[in-house]
C-alpha cells in the first residue's frame, strides 16, 4: 500500500506492507484523509534521520474487524483519528475507540476532518463554558473555523478574531455575527456583549502567533476567566495581569481524555462514562453528530482537493501561501486521475 512520510524535511510516497486487524482493531480502506496544517508542517520541518508518518484524521470503509469489535460491520463507512494508527495511507489498522460509524446523513468528505473536529470540541470543553457565556476564538484557520461553528451551535456567544479578513468572512458565512480582523473591534464587541465585564474564555487556535497574543487574551477575559491554548503559541505573558484577574491558563491536549494513553487507545480499555464523560472517542462521535444534523459545515471550509501522489504540493502550498488555504482533502479514489491533480473547490460531493 502507499503511504506518506516526511524524511529530512522532504515529503515521500512509499510502499508499505498492508496492515492486518488485531483483536481490537478495525482495518479501514481509506477514502479521504484531511491535512492538519499546524501539526503536519511542524513534523515536516523536523530534519531528523528517521521517517515520520504524516496525518491523523481520515474516513473510509471497514474492510476487516477484529474479534473484539461488535459495534461495526464490514462495508460500513467510518471516521477515524489518531496517529500513529491513522495517517495518509491507503489502509489503516485502527483501534476500536478511535473509529466512529457514520450515519447516512454525514458526508464522507466532511467526516475526514473528524480529528480536527475532536480537537476543537475538546478545546471548548476545557474552557468549561455554560449556555450564554462568551468565548473569543483567536485564529480562524481550519481549527478555529470549526471551533467557532461548534461554539455557535452550542449557544455560546462567539466572537471570532483573525487578522485575515477573508477568514473572518468565512466564519461570518457560517452564521457567526461577531467576527473581526481588528483587536480594537473585538474589544468593543466584548464590552457591548458582556456589559464591560469581559469574555468568559479565550481559545487561542493560532499557530506561530506573536508573544503578545496571550497578554491580549488576558485583557479580554473577565475576572477569573480562562485562556485555552490549542495552537503553537509562545508562552510569554504578563504575570501581573494574570495575577490581578486570577486567570486560568489551560492547555488543550488533542482530542480529549484517552489521547496518548496506550491502555485506552491500543488496549481498548474505555474510561467509565461516570468518571470521564467525554473521551476522545466520544468527542469524535459528537463531531459526526453535528455534521449529520447539519448544525455545522466543513464542506464550505474545504479549499483544495488532491490525490495521494500529489500530496507534496499541499505542504508546499501551506508554506508558501497559507492565507489561501483552509481545508485540504486527500481523495484516494483519484490516483489514476489526469495530470491536473490539485483542484480549488467550491463544493465537494459527499460520497466515497
Task: Give 73-96 pLDDT, tens digit per residue.
Answer: 999 999 999 999 999 999 999 999
The per-residue pLDDT for 190 is 98
pLDDT at 346 over 50: no
Q: What integer is the mean pLDDT of 170-193? A: 97
What are the tens digits of pLDDT across the range 281-317? Answer: 999 999 999 999 999 999 999 999 999 988 888 888 8
The per-residue pLDDT for 68 is 79
The per-residue pLDDT for 209 is 58
Q: What pLDDT band is residue 181 in, cutting at 50, 70 and 90?
A: very high
Percent of the chain with pLDDT over 90: 72
Q: What integer is the mean pLDDT of 338-343? A: 42
Q: Are strands 302-306 and 343-344 parallel, antiparallel or unpaired?
A: antiparallel
pLDDT at 255 over 50: yes
For the full predicted model, state whether its pTM sits above 0.95.
no
The per-residue pLDDT for 212 is 86
Q: Where in the chain is the domain with CATH 3.90.180.10?
A: 2-113+259-344, 119-251
Beta strands in the chain (DSSP E): 2-7, 10-15, 25-34, 52-53, 57-65, 77-81, 91-95, 99-101, 134-138, 157-161, 179-180, 199-204, 221-229, 248-251, 302-306, 327-331, 343-344
The per-residue pLDDT for 336 is 40
Q: How far apart are CA 170 and CA 176, in angstroms?
A: 9
Q: Using the structure block, give the residue that is written with the C-alpha cell 494574570.
A: 242
Between these two residues, 98 and 43, which has the higher pLDDT value? 98
What are the tens digits of pLDDT across the range 130-165? Answer: 999 999 999 999 999 999 999 999 999 999 999 999
Q: How far apart are CA 96 and CA 265, in angstroms?
A: 8
Any idea which of 6-15, 65-74, 95-104, 326-335 has the lowest mean pLDDT? 326-335
The per-residue pLDDT for 115 is 97
The per-residue pLDDT for 319 is 82
pLDDT at 271 over 50: yes
The per-residue pLDDT for 351 is 53
The per-residue pLDDT for 232 is 77
Q: How far apart are CA 78 and CA 69, in angstroms?
A: 14
Question: In CATH terms, is domain 119-251 a member of 3.90.180.10?
Answer: yes
Question: In CATH terms, is domain 2-113+259-344 a member of 3.30.1330.20?
Answer: no
The per-residue pLDDT for 211 is 65
Percent of the chain with pLDDT over 70: 92
Q: How far apart are CA 108 and CA 25, in angstroms?
A: 21
The per-residue pLDDT for 315 is 86
pLDDT at 318 over 90: no
The per-residue pLDDT for 7 is 82
Using a CB cutoff of 8 Å and minimum separation of 24, what contacts does 339-346 make?
A: 341/306, 341/307, 341/309, 341/310, 341/313, 342/304, 342/305, 342/306, 342/310, 342/313, 342/314, 342/317, 343/304, 343/305, 343/306, 344/303, 344/304, 345/302, 345/303, 345/304, 345/305
Amino acid at each position: 500500500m502507499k503511504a506518506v512520510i516526511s524524511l529530512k524535511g522532504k515529503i515521500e510516497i512509499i510502499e508499505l506492507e498492508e496492515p492486518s486487524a488485531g483483536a481490537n482493531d478495525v482495518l479501514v480502506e481509506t477514502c479521504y484523509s484531511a491535512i492538519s496544517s499546524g501539526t503536519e508542517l511542524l513534523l515536516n520541518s523536523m530534519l531528523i534521520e528517521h521517517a515520520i508518518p504524516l496525518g491523523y484524521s481520515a474516513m473510509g470503509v471497514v474492510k476487516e474487524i477484529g474479534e473484539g469489535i461488535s459495534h461495526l460491520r464490514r462495508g460500513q463507512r467510518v471516521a477515524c483519528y489518531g496517529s500513529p494508527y491513522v495517517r495518509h495511507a491507503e489502509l489503516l489498522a485502527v483501534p476500536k475507540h478511535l473509529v466512529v460509524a457514520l450515519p447516512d446523513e454525514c458526508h464522507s468528505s466532511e467526516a475526514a476532518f473528524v480529528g480536527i473536529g475532536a480537537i476543537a470540541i475538546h478545546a471548548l470543553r476545557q474552557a468549561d463554558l455554560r449556555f450564554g457565556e462568551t468565548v473569543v476564538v483567536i485564529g480562524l484557520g481550519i481549527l478555529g473555523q470549526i471551533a467557532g461553528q461548534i461554539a455557535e451551535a452550542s449557544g455560546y456567544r462567539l466572537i471570532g478574531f483573525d487578522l485575515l479578513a477573508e477568514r473572518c468572512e468565512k466564519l461570518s458565512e457560517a452564521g457567526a455575527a461577531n467576527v473581526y480582523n481588528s483587536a480594537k473591534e473585538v474589544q468593543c464587541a466584548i464590552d457591548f456583549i458582556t456589559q464591560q465585564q469581559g469574555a468568559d474564555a479565550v481559545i487561542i487556535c493560532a499557530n506561530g502567533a506573536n508573544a503578545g497574543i496571550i497578554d491580549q487574551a488576558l485583557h479580554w477575559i473577565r475576572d477569573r476567566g480562562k485562556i485555552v491554548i490549542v495552537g503553537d503559541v509562545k508562552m510569554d505573558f504578563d504575570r501581573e495581569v494574570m495575577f490581578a484577574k486570577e486567570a486560568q491558563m489551560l492547555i488543550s491536549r488533542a482530542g480529549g481524555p484517552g489521547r496518548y494513553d496506550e491502555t485506552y487507545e491500543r488496549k481498548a480499555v474505555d474510561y467509565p462514562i461516570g468518571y470521564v464523560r467525554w473521551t476522545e472517542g466520544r468527542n469524535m462521535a459528537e463531531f459526526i453528530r453535528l455534521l449529520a444534523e447539519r448544525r455545522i459545515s466543513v464542506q464550505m471550509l474545504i479549499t483544495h482537493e488532491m490525490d495521494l501522489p500529489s500530496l507534496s504540493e499541499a505542504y508546499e502550498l501551506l508554506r508558501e501561501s497559507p492565507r489561501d488555504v483552509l481545508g485540504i482533502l486527500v481523495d484516494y479514489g483519484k490516483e489514476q486521475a489526469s495530470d491536473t491533480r490539485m483542484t480549488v473547490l467550491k463544493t465537494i460531493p459527499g460520497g466515497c
